[in-house]
Amino acid sequence: MALLRRPYVPVLSRWVKSTDTVTIDDLAPVDEFHIGGRRASEDFLDQLTFAAQTKVLDVGCGLGGPGRFTANRYGSKVTGLDLTAEYVETGNILCKWVGLNERISLQQGSALAMPFIDGSFDGAYMLHVGMNIEDKEKLARKVARILRQGSVFGIYDVMRTGPGDLAFPVPWASTADLSAVADPDRYKNALQNAGFNVIAERNRRDFALAYFADLRAKTAAAGGPPPLGLHVLMGKNTPEKVQNMVDNISRGRIAPVELIARKR
């Protein structure tokens, strides 16, 4: 509840919003906590062809924004898993606010020790999660275990795309020792060895740079950040984290990359 007591209630009151009128689109600027926000979610998740009643796992769900989008857009039954109990508690309340609590449930747990039976999901995805998980091989095996044969697993992570030391802090890590960024080949090898075939790959560097340029322009025109945005979760040094990330992407060291794999 602490997250709700701090940013959400004051922000919603500034919008003249209530828990009865808030929508998933209202929450998207903060609960779609990845490069490109809602637009990136649409571009990425539309490729996974989820359908009504499909059982989907959101790995590292955070506040549950992509899960709510998935449940609302495709009619899927979504389970979210995240290490941070406060995110899970807040996210479940937000699901009730927007009337999606019957189709999405968030729970606390580790992606490396998933509390689900084998083959219990029809699909899975993760957005900006792997940068905090060093053991990509174990992660891929754990996801493979809970998916049915033929299921799709989508990954949208920041990945290493070139040489050079990264500038820190960035949104997922304050120092280099806390960052587990890896190149796409590391992910693809882990997926292949866990029983997946990689069926699509897309580097979204240009999309990311255009997104941040647009974000800067809108912030400058408005005289500051909007009530809801990345700064709500990242804190006072949000500008430094974002600028470092943009610099790292601009210099070709990292980029957001999509990988889509199917379980053999």
Place of tokens 């992606």: 111
What is the spatial order of strands in the sheet that 104-108 belongs to? 104-108, 77-82, 55-59, 121-127, 147-160, 254-263, 196-203
216: confidence class by pLDDT, cuts 50, 70, 90: confident
The CA-based angle 191-192-193, given to 5 degrees, is 90
pLDDT > 70: what percent of the chain? 88
Res 13: pLDDT: 43
Contact 45, 73 (CB under 8 A): yes
pTM: 0.90
Tokens of 198: 């990689």
pLDDT over 90 (residue 93):
yes
Note the pLDDT tens digit of each residue in 11-35. Answer: 444 445 667 788 999 888 878 889 9
The residue among 208, 168, 203 whose CA lies nearest residue 184 is: 203
The residue among 124, 130, 128, 125 whose CA lies nearest residue 146 is: 124
Q: Class of the 2-162+178-207+255-263 domain?
A: alpha beta
Return d(Cα 88, Cα 58) in angstroms, integer: 12
Higher-scoring residue by pLDDT: 238, 37? 37
Res 229: pLDDT: 52
> How many CB atoms within 10 Å of residue 221?
7
Residue-range domain boundaries for the chain: 2-162+178-207+255-263
Note the pLDDT tens digit of each residue in 144-168. Answer: 999 999 999 999 999 999 999 999 9
Three-state SS at 104: strand
Contact 64, 80 (CB under 8 A): yes
Res 233: pLDDT: 55
pLDDT > 90: what percent of the chain? 78
Return d(Cα 67, Cα 92) in angstroms, integer: 11
